[in-house]
Structure 1
Amino acid sequence: MAAPQNIIALVYDYDQTLSPNYMQDDVLFPRFGIDPAQFWRKCNALVHEQKWDGELAYMKCLLDYLGMDRVTNDMLADLGAGLSFFPGLPELFEDLPKAALRPEHELVGIKVEHYIISSGLKALLDGSRLKPYVKEIFGCEFGEDSEGLISFPKRVISHTTKTQFLFRINKGMLRYDQDVNDHMPAEQRPIPFENMVYVGDGPTDVPCFTVLNRNGGHGIAVYNPEDASGKSFQKCFQLCTHAGRVRHIAPADYREGSHLWLLLSQMVRETADRIMRRRIEERDNATIAAPTF
């Protein structure tokens, strides 16, 4: 029997997508007195001079800087409560599905779920105001030693490995003890790619945009309208106009009635209509008329 496939997944990057700030600049560096310029110089030296992967270099530098502070994942989660977001968040997570879905959609079980896939720290996002509204958050993680202190990278998510988590959402394999490479027929996957919308901000989101483009999903590139340098907009313009990675760009304003709200609402509504039409067609095709006299 085929899976219902009645879930619409809205999937978001975090840094520069849901927040105008990088999460470490927002709450981590100020709390521990870390100089951002010095920190990133050290990271870049590892990447360019010693050929480290960027995310591993970032996590190593964090461990080096935080080593004397006896930091735990619980402490990081507490810091996450101070993360700041673009206008309209976290309200959109609850309000947009109610506005976009009609009663007839809900009657047949269609619903919206939110997911975050980030190369930032999961612990910070787990402590944020977004957490109660999100089905699952995927991010980089630190393991802990025998004293409960962060000690080593436990999980690293790069821009290229983000696509793994689209497949986890697609197959409903959200736990790490589930092998996402296991074969699953398309009709058994709870959230087809065509039922997904991915929201990101730049080149690091290209692999996710590509997966959805090739499989009937939607992508939206967002930019910070307060960025006076124009670089945020230029990234999105390049993705849309020259690289063909996305069809839509919008300011990162999540308030009701904004361009982004309207795009997301329309995508959710049209996807819900398609699911409902398919459900009706399947019902009609399975119906055998009673004999007549």
Structure 2
Amino acid sequence: MSAPQNTIALIYDYDQTLSPAYMQEEAIFPQFGIHADRFWKQCQALVREQNYDNELAYMKVLLDTLEMDRPTNEELRSLGAKLNFYPGLPEMFEEFQTDLLSPEHKAYGITVEHYIVSSGLKVLLEGSRLAPYVKAIFGCEFGEDSQGRITFPKRAISHTQKTQFLFRINKGMLDLSEDVNDHMAPDLRPIPFPNMVYIGDGPTDVPCFTVMQRNGGKAIAVYNPNDPTRSSFKKCYQLSAHAERVKNIAPSDFRQGSHLRFLIEEMVQDIANSILDRRRIDLEAGTVKAPKHS
């Protein structure tokens, strides 16, 4: 029996996509007196001189910097409340609960789910004001020692590994104990790629943009309109105009009436209408008309 496939997934990167700031700088650095420039220079040195992955580099430097003052994951989760976002968040998530789908869409059981796939720290996002609206959050994680303090990277998600989580969403395998490489027939996957919209901010999202492009999904590249260097915009422009990774770019403004909000709403409506059309076709194909009396 095939899956209903009537769920639409909105999938977001976090840093520079939902927030103009890096989550570590907002939530962790002020709490522990960490100097941002020195911290990121140490990370860059590990990447440049010792070939560290970027994500493992920042996790190592964070552990080394905190030394004996390492917090617990629960303490880090509480710091997630300090995270701030682009205009319109988290209000958009609240508004989407009632205003995104039409009564007809809802009558057919069409729903929208939100996911975050980040190379930042999952625990901070779990403590943020976004968490109540999100079906699942995927991000880097620390293990804990016997005293509950963070002690070693438990999971690191690089920009290339983020694509794995698109397939987890596609297959409904949100439990990381499940092997995402297990074969699953397309008609059994609860959220097919054409039912997905991925929103990211630049080159680190290219693998996810490519997966969406190749599998019939939709994507939006967003930029910070308040960046005086315009580098944020230029990255998105290159992805659209030259690399052809995305068709749509927009400033990171999630408020009602913004360009980005229009794009998200229209894409969801387009997907929902396509689901309705498929349901009608299936219904007609499965209906045998009663014979007419002569």
Please confirm whether the aligned pair reaches a TM-score higher than 0.5, indicating the same fold.
yes
1:23 matched to 2:23? The reply is: yes
Residues 55, 158 of structure 2: 8 Å contact kept: yes
TM-score for the superposition, normalised by structure 1: 0.99
Q: Distance in 2 between matches of 1:70 and 1:88?
A: 34
Q: Which shows bigger deviation, 13-22 or 52-61?
A: 52-61
Residues 96, 261 of structure 1: 8 Å contact kept: no
Aligned to 2:32: 32
Q: Distance in 2 between matches of 1:101 and 1:267?
A: 11
Aligned to 2:165: 165
Amino acid at match of 1:62: L
Residues 63, 70 of structure 2: 8 Å contact kept: no
1:250 matched to 2:255? The reply is: no
Aligned to 1:285: 285
Shift of 1:290: 1.3
Residues 99, 265 of structure 1: 8 Å contact kept: no
Give SS of 1:81's match: helix
Amino acid at match of 2:79: L
Structure 1 alignment gaps of length 5 or more: none
Question: How big is each residue's C-alpha offset from its partner over 1:163-218, in whole Å with a ceiling of 9 and x where there is no partner?
Answer: 00000000000001111011000000000000000000000000000001111111
Aligned to 1:188: 188
Aligned to 1:150: 150
Shift of 1:100: 2.7
Q: Distance in 2 between matches of 1:250 and 1:43?
A: 30
Aligned to 2:106: 106
Give SS of 2:116's match: strand
Give SS of 2:174's match: coil
Shift of 1:94: 2.5
Give SS of 2:82's match: coil
Aligned to 1:89: 89
Shift of 1:97: 5.1
Give SS of 1:237's match: helix
Aligned to 2:217: 217
Aligned to 1:4: 4
1:238 matched to 2:238? The reply is: yes
TM-score for the superposition, normalised by structure 2: 0.98
Question: How big is each residue's C-alpha offset from its partner over 1:8-58, in whole Å with a ceiling of 9 and x where there is no partner?
Answer: 000000000000000011111111111111111111111111111111111
Aligned residues: 293
Find runs of 4+ consecutive structure 1 residues off by over 3 angstroms: none
Q: CA RMSD in A?
A: 0.8
Shift of 1:95: 1.2
Residues 172, 191 of structure 2: 8 Å contact kept: yes
Residues 198, 219 of structure 2: 8 Å contact kept: yes
Structure 2 alignment gaps of length 5 or more: none
Q: Distance in 1 between matches of 2:246 and 2:8?
A: 19
Amino acid at match of 1:36: A
Residues 171, 190 of structure 2: 8 Å contact kept: yes
Question: How big is each residue's C-alpha offset from its partner over 1:233-265, in whole Å with a ceiling of 9 and x where there is no partner?
Answer: 011001100100000000000001100000000
Q: Distance in 1 between matches of 2:100 and 2:57?
A: 42
Amino acid at match of 2:152: F
Amino acid at match of 1:220: I
Amino acid at match of 1:269: Q
Q: Distance in 2 between matches of 1:183 and 1:245?
A: 27
Amino acid at match of 2:56: L
Residues 118, 139 of structure 1: 8 Å contact kept: yes
Amino acid at match of 1:171: K
Aligned to 2:58: 58
Q: Which shows bigger deviation, 95-104 or 168-177?
A: 95-104
Give SS of 1:15's match: coil
